[in-house]
A and B are shown apart, each in its own frame.
Chain A
């Protein structure tokens, strides 16, 4: 862009860059987590084209320990575990990302409306309280079991319990911002309601939502694996980390690595996502840091 004068809204965005640099210097763990996450994303995107067929069955090489030809060993059908784990990374990260985006989008919409329109605030928030009282994993299990296992139902089942938390966060930001003089000024000059919400209030919710989204992404990957492990998740023919570990249960005493390889990958990925989330939280606003924990 060659325009010499930046619009006013652009200013905070440029201020983040030096903050990001100083964050990486002061929190080496964020750099470590970020690189780990980047490595996982690259592996998930590019990996499946390089690894052997994750569905190829080798009956003569069942439950093999890790060696030069099968890096992570093989499962009970003689399928290459390394290939399956690489494919699993794609499933896990896709579910985490999809859940984070959907939960934030839906929660943002409900939260904006509930926080701004006083008449809707009480009923919406009581509904959210009720939804939050239901243990998330149980709700997800029930949703998957009645609507049939598929990638879409699993994503929806994980999104539903996450939405109330986003709504609460957005609402609290809206409630504090709506009393600010610039919002009152915007209303006073006759700005239409949607414009007030999206132009003046929404930008304030972005930093805390970004942080919340990373945490949701991490917990969604854990929930997906738990659902798969319990046999109530993505259909078993899809090699997700949860499904691989679920199949490994029967042979655990014989071949514990079938659970440990995908388990370690999952733990490291979630750790990386959470570390990046902590870093974002500390950078974007120290005030949010206290609100969120």
Chain B
């Protein structure tokens, strides 16, 4: 088991290496002078020269990469061009809203999608099943921000139930205001996720339902609820958890858009502001952070499989 964990950990090293290399190359391989691009249209020659030396762009490519790699390995993601603050400090300031939004979204999606997908598979071909399938196709077709504005229009402007925009911290403003402000963003971001998980749950549960042990459990006269939870869902857990892990990529992209729609001061807004100001170290740092988080989450999920499925032994 521990040997497997170690091997999997080592296997992520080249993947992370590629991420670091790609992020490094994005800036260097684009046509034109990256320093001039970052400085913007109205920069003076002195500004461009300052940015060039600040980013180390005046040194050989290999040296630049090794310096950058050594920095990343030490956990140093560089310094913001505009604020002159370390990127890691800026990330720490904005971490809370994004982390909490991701948590509420995953919780909401799993709580809604797994029962929905299971029920749909249980009565496959029925009305609920058709609705779930329709929803899972539609959920992938509506852009996140259009959905966001639709929900604002309905619940905030129309019914006036929830605030239009903004964020309240549960630690300083209390749990009530936090939940009221996070409800619509969670719903917005969660829709694609619900579609994804519900579809996967339905497909897997349908497969498991045809297996012999389910027939045996039913023949024993076990209650249908117990059959579904103990005999079906337990066996369907591995693919469902896998798709949740892969869905984290969807979540990260959605966070940027959702935070922009609802004006939430999180990491997504940090990226966007950095793009508009061409504050390149921040963009680089956040891409690396998000990619590493994605890789690590999927690694952890791989390792957690043993909890769900004792047949998998490493």
Binding site for B on A (CB under 8 A): 126-127, 129-131, 133-139, 141-143, 145-148, 218, 222, 225-226, 229-232, 245, 252-253, 256, 259-260, 263-264, 266-268, 270-271, 274-275, 278, 293
Instruction: Decide: A271 and B141 in contact? CB cutoff 8 A.
Output: yes
Q: Which residues of B contact A263 (CB under 8 A)?
A: 142-143, 146, 149-150
Q: Which residues of A contact B22 (CB under 8 A)?
A: 130-131, 134, 139
Chain A CB within 10 Å, residue with most, of B23, B143, B199, B253: B143
Binding site for A on B (CB under 8 A): 14-19, 21-23, 26-27, 30-32, 34, 37, 137-138, 140-146, 149-150, 152-153, 157, 164, 199-200, 203, 249, 252-253, 256-257, 260, 271-272, 275-276, 278, 280, 283-284, 286-287, 290-291, 294-295
Instruction: Decide: B287 and A274 in contact? CB cutoff 8 A.
Output: no
Q: Which residues of B contact A231 (CB under 8 A)?
A: 272, 275-276
Instruction: Decide: B18 and A131 in contact? CB cutoff 8 A.
Output: yes
Q: Which residues of B contact A229 (CB under 8 A)?
A: 143, 145, 257, 260
Residues of A contacting B: mostly: helix
Instruction: Decide: A135 and B137 in contact? CB cutoff 8 A.
Output: no
- Cβ distance B144 to chain A, nearest Cβ, rounded Å: 7
Instruction: Decide: A127 and B18 in contact? CB cutoff 8 A.
Output: yes
Instruction: Decide: B30 and A259 in contact? CB cutoff 8 A.
Output: no
Known A-B contacts A218-B141, A245-B146; A135 and B283 likewise in contact (beta carbons under 8 Å): no
Closest residue of chain A to B295 (Cβ to Cβ) is: A133
- Cβ distance B139 to chain A, nearest Cβ, rounded Å: 10
Closest residue of chain B to A275 (Cβ to Cβ) is: B137
Instruction: Decide: B142 and A135 in contact? CB cutoff 8 A.
Output: no
Q: Pick the contact of A136: B14, B27, B253 (CB < 8 A).
A: B253
Instruction: Decide: A148 and B257 in contact? CB cutoff 8 A.
Output: no
Q: Which residues of B contact A136 (CB under 8 A)?
A: 249, 253
Q: Which residues of A contact B260 (CB under 8 A)?
A: 229-230
| 19 A/B residue pairs, CB under 8 Å, sorted by A | A130-B14, A134-B19, A134-B22, A135-B287, A136-B249, A137-B257, A138-B252, A141-B275, A142-B26, A245-B145, A260-B146, A260-B149, A263-B150, A266-B143, A270-B142, A271-B137, A274-B137, A274-B140, A293-B199
